[in-house]
């Protein structure tokens, strides 16, 4: 890097520190923000080999349900991905995450996509389910290891320490394949894994087995146990499945998991019960992602902006916050009429959609109405 490049890098670092302080001052206080999103998730395709029962995009039950995101086919081109990454970097978005509504490694340009994110940002994070046939065919484990110094973390879903339960919930996934892949990567690198575990009444009993298995295999990871978004497509995604303060047995299991993780050297974060959550929807002050939703222009699925796969999007009416390529810079998108209106309403206790009422971030005490 030349002198000019070093000066620009220092200037960027200074501005990003100011952005972080602005975020701390303005979070859930202002509707028009002076800082960019804290991170952006870029969905690159819809290809998937699984039919996970909790998935609103590919599950068999979502097919006949009221999902706004089921079966939407798209593939972001390499050029489009580069355009989004460049826009995020220029806009001082601290990091991006490469994701998909299915398996990112089914995208034919996945390595070029990862490499471009690394080229621009220096590091990147990736989501994967480690689908064995595609990984073996393309030697992707070795390709990941080659990039070990530039992959900040890899996210993957594991739904139980009991292989049969995991495989029943993540239809098409093989528990052994997932953990063996992680184990192999950590035998040849120190890449960090973020293990996502959706907690419900159906799968709380065997978290300790998962922790022991991860520890035995010496997998470098953090387990993030999260609440369910109750889409209502089946028993697993029903409101009945939600972990609430009445489920003392689940609370006990979570506390034990956290203590066991501490003992095994694996950090475990646990959620509050769904009815005791923070009561604020901070997503509109924190992040956004590019994601397809029914009812928008099919030719622009990869450009569509939402805050996440929450109920307002999946079963509600919050289909779009704009198309990213309609904007010259990130801040114009981040402070467009959709984001600002929703933030203004949330500050007054007005949530963006009726479906928000089933979310743990819905504040029933301070809620003053809904505006769709």
- Kindly tell me if the per-residue pLDDT of 372 is higher than 80: no
Which phi and psi angles does 317 have, rounded to 5°?
-115, 10
- Kindly tell me if the per-residue pLDDT of 96 is higher than 60: yes
Residue 311 lies in a domain: no
Domain that holds residue 207: 37-276
Q: What are the pLDDT digits (tens) for 256-304?
A: 999 999 999 999 999 999 988 778 999 999 999 999 999 999 999 999 9
Q: How much of the chain exceeds pLDDT 90, in percent? A: 89
Residue 101 lies in a domain: yes
Q: What are the pLDDT digits (tens) for 66-76?
A: 899 999 999 99
What single string gives the DSSP state of each residue in 26-79? HTTT-SS-SS--SEEEEE-B---S---TT-TTT-HHHHTTT-SSTT---B--HH
| Local confidence band at 10 (pLDDT 50, 70, 90 cut-offs) | confident
What crossing angle do the helices spanning 110-121 and 78-90 adopt, rounded to 10°?
Answer: 20
What single string gives the DSSP state of each residue in 138-191? HTHHHHHHHTGGGEEEEEEE---SSHHHHHHHSTT--HHHHHHHHHHHHHH---
Q: What are the pLDDT digits (tens) for 151-201?
A: 999 999 999 999 999 999 999 999 999 999 999 999 999 999 999 999 999
- Kindly tell me if the per-residue pLDDT of 371 is higher than 70: no
| Local confidence band at 369 (pLDDT 50, 70, 90 cut-offs) | very low
Q: What are the pLDDT digits (tens) for 316-344?
A: 999 999 999 999 999 999 999 999 999 99
Residue 63 lies in a domain: yes
**What CATH number does residue 127 fall under?**
3.20.20.70
Average pLDDT over residues 91-98: 97
Radius of gyration of the CA atoms of the chain, in A: 20
- Residue 261's closest CA among 186, 210, 206? 210
Residue 284 lies in a domain: no
Q: Which position has the token pair 């601290």?
A: 94
| Local confidence band at 6 (pLDDT 50, 70, 90 cut-offs) | low
Average pLDDT over residues 239-256: 96
DSSP code of 323?
A: B
Question: Which range, of 61-65, 100-104, 144-148, 308-312, averages the lowest pLDDT?
Answer: 61-65
Residue 129 lies in a domain: yes
The neighbour count for residue 349, using CB atoms within 10 Å, is: 13
Residue 78 lies in a domain: yes
Residues 6+ away with beta carbon under 8 Å from 63: 70, 71
In this prediction, residue 153 carries a pLDDT of: 98
Residue 316 lies in a domain: no
CB 46 within 8 A of CB 100: yes
Residue 367 lies in a domain: no
In this prediction, residue 34 carries a pLDDT of: 98
User: Number of structural domains, the chain?
Assistant: 1
CB 282 within 8 A of CB 271: no
Average pLDDT over residues 42-54: 96
Q: What are the pLDDT digits (tens) for 106-161?
A: 999 999 999 999 999 999 999 999 999 999 999 999 999 999 999 999 999 999 99
């Amino acid at each position: 890097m030349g002198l000019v490049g070093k000066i620009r890098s220092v200037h960027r670092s200074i501005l990003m520190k100011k952005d972080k302080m602005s975020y701390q001052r303005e979070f859930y206080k202002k509707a028009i923000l002076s800082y960019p999103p804290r991170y952006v998730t870029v969905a690159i395709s819809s290809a998937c080999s699984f039919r996970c029962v909790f998935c609103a995009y590919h599950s068999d039950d979502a097919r006949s349900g009221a999902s706004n995101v089921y079966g939407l086919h798209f593939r972001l081109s390499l050029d489009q991905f580069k355009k989004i990454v460049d826009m995020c970097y220029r806009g001082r978005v601290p990091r991006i995450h490469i994701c998909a509504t299915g398996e990112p490694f089914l995208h034919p340009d996945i390595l070029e996509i990862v490499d471009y994110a690394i080229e621009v940002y220096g590091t990147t994070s990736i989501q994967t389910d480690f689908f064995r046939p595609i990984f073996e065919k393309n030697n992707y484990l070795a390709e990941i290891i080659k990039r070990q110094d530039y992959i900040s973390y890899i996210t993957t879903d594991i739904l139980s320490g009991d292989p049969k339960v995991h495989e029943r919930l993540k239809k098409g996934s093989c528990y052994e394949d997932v953990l063996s892949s992680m184990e192999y990567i950590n035998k040849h690198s120190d890449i960090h894994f973020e293990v996502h575990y959706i907690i419900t009444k159906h799968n709380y009993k065997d978290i300790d087995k998962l922790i022991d298995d991860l520890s035995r295999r010496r997998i470098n990871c953090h387990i993030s146990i999260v609440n369910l978004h109750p889409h209502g497509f089946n028993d697993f995604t029903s409101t009945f499945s939600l972990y609430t303060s009445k489920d003392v047995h689940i609370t006990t299991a979570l506390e034990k998991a956290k203590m066991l993780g501490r003992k095994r050297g694996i950090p475990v974060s646990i959620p509050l019960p769904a009815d005791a959550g923070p009561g604020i929807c901070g997503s509109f002050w924190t992040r956004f992602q590019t994601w397809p939703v029914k009812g928008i222009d099919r030719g622009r699925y990869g450009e569509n902006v939402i805050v996440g796969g929450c109920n307002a999007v999946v079963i509600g009416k919050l289909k779009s916050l704009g198309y990213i390529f309609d904007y010259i810079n990130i801040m114009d998108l981040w402070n467009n009429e959709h984001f600002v209106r929703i933030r203004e309403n949330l500050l007054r206790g007005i949530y963006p959609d009726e479906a928000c009422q089933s979310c743990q971030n819905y504040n029933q005490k301070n809620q003053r109405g809904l505006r769709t």
